């Protein structure tokens, strides 16, 4: 089966940035082991012109941006590439990772073979975006999606949350869909959880923007008033003023000695960092199905997170982590105290549960095979 995928994919040697790029990378790792699939990727998030063979059955076309606007890039350059490859190679499936402005790639010629994976709920994310320019861009993407989504016949939803959000829409007899969780990089799966640290090492991973809730975590940590709890922050700031705001907050709270700022890290660096981590904390105000939680679970880690989006599908209360309402800093600080007080036996049991659930739901091989089966239903429907 020939599959053309349009998605952000990291150039070899470069760090992975963003949830969709992470998902694409992990899914491709699974597809490398599925000999039935001949996969070609178009990556539109790189600054290089190159065609690289990633495995005997997977290759990726990287290209430099030709337009100042990503929407123009999608409408003009990438759409031309997709139609050209469709005419020359005739793939069975054309799979686009990501919704919103990606609907600009739609063309009547490829309608029946086109698949969209909805990674985010744009309207909900837009409500949590403070800066005007990103908010306007998201509104435009939302309007494009709203206008075009009825044209798409085949959908992949990454969580029951996504599926429920679209329940009225997908009940149409013209819609073919499946629900498949995002995969985790196989490197992250380990066999033996180790929680021998005398203190408690927390990890925050993600773009450092207001909706990710890092400021709540800093305040919650300060209220615990325990210098044995350290917080490792991995991620980059999109706005310099917000960096200044976070630095000022750390100073004001008097917790500078407990915070380690790492900046962006590549996959191997994050993997090594997990050796020193006990708990992942994700205090976000909006998420769909965070890859970072699935990665932490594969690494046998306890997870503390807000009960937003699809996170409740990932965390079983008291078994592999704890949930709280977004913005409830008192609840967050109480949970951090509770986790700190867990016995070694309790931590080990929760760590084991996390890993086992990750293996059931987020294995790249299992997720890629689920995609293959969905592709087959599309081909059968088109016959």
In contact, 116 and 78? CB cutoff 8 Å: no
For residue 197, what pLDDT band results from cuts at 50, 70 and 90?
A: low
Sheet holding 154-157, edge to edge: 50-55, 58-62, 38-43, 2-6, 93-97, 114-118, 154-157, 176-179
Query: Which pLDDT value is given to residue 75?
Result: 78
Could you tell me the pTM of the whole model? 0.87
Query: Which pLDDT value is given to residue 45?
Result: 63
For residue 18, what pLDDT band results from cuts at 50, 70 and 90?
A: confident
Partners of residue 280 on adjacent β-strands: 203, 303
Residue 126 has pLDDT above 90, yes or no: no
Quote the CA–CA distance of 44 and 96 in Å, as a whole number: 12
Quote the CA–CA distance of 372 and 176 in Å, as a whole number: 14
In contact, 43 and 61? CB cutoff 8 Å: yes
Partners of residue 115 on adjacent β-strands: 95, 154
Query: Which pLDDT value is given to residue 128?
Result: 75
For residue 12, what pLDDT band results from cuts at 50, 70 and 90?
A: confident
Of 382 and 15, the structure prediction assigns the larger pLDDT to: 382
């Amino acid at each position: 089966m020939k599959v053309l995928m349009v998605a952000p994919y990291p150039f070899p040697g470069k760090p992975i940035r963003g949830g969709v790029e992470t998902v694409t990378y992990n899914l491709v790792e699974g597809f490398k082991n599925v000999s039935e699939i001949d996969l070609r990727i178009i990556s539109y998030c790189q600054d290089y012109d190159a065609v690289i063979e990633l495995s005997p059955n997977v290759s990726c076309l990287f290209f430099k941006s030709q337009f100042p606007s990503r929407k123009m890039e999608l409408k003009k350059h990438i759409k031309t590439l997709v139609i050209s490859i469709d005419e020359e190679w005739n793939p069975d499936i054309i799979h686009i990772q990501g919704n919103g402005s990606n609907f600009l790639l739609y063309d009547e010629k490829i309608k029946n073979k086109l698949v969209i994976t909805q990674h985010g709920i744009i309207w909900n994310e837009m409500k949590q975006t403070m800066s005007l320019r990103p908010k306007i861009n998201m509104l435009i993407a939302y309007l494009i999606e709203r206008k075009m989504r009825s044209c798409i016949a085949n959908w992949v939803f990454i969580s029951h949350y996504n599926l429920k959000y679209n329940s009225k829409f997908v009940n149409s007899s013209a819609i073919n869909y499946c629900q498949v969780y995002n995969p985790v990089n196989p490197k992250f799966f380990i066999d033996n959880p180790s929680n021998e640290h005398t203190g408690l090492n927390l990890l925050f991973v993600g773009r450092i923007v207001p909706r990710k809730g890092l400021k709540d975590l800093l305040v919650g940590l300060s209220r615990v008033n325990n210098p044995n709890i350290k917080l490792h922050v991995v991620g980059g700031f999109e706005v310099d003023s917000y960096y200044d705001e976070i630095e000022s907050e750390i100073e004001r709270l008097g917790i500078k000695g407990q915070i380690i700022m790492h900046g962006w890290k590549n996959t191997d660096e994050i993997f090594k960092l997990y050796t020193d981590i006990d708990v992942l904390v994700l205090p976000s105000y909006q998420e769909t199905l965070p890859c970072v939680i699935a990665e932490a679970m594969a690494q046998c880690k306890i997870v503390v997170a807000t009960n937003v989006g699809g996170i409740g599908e990932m965390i079983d209360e008291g078994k592999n982590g704890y949930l709280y309402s977004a913005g409830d800093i008192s609840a967050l600080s109480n949970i951090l105290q509770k986790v700190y007080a867990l016995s070694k036996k309790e931590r080990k049991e929760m760590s084991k549960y996390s890993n086992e659930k990750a293996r059931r739901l987020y294995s790249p091989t299992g997720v890629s095979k689920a995609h293959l089966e969905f592709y087959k239903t599309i081909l059968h429907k088109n016959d």
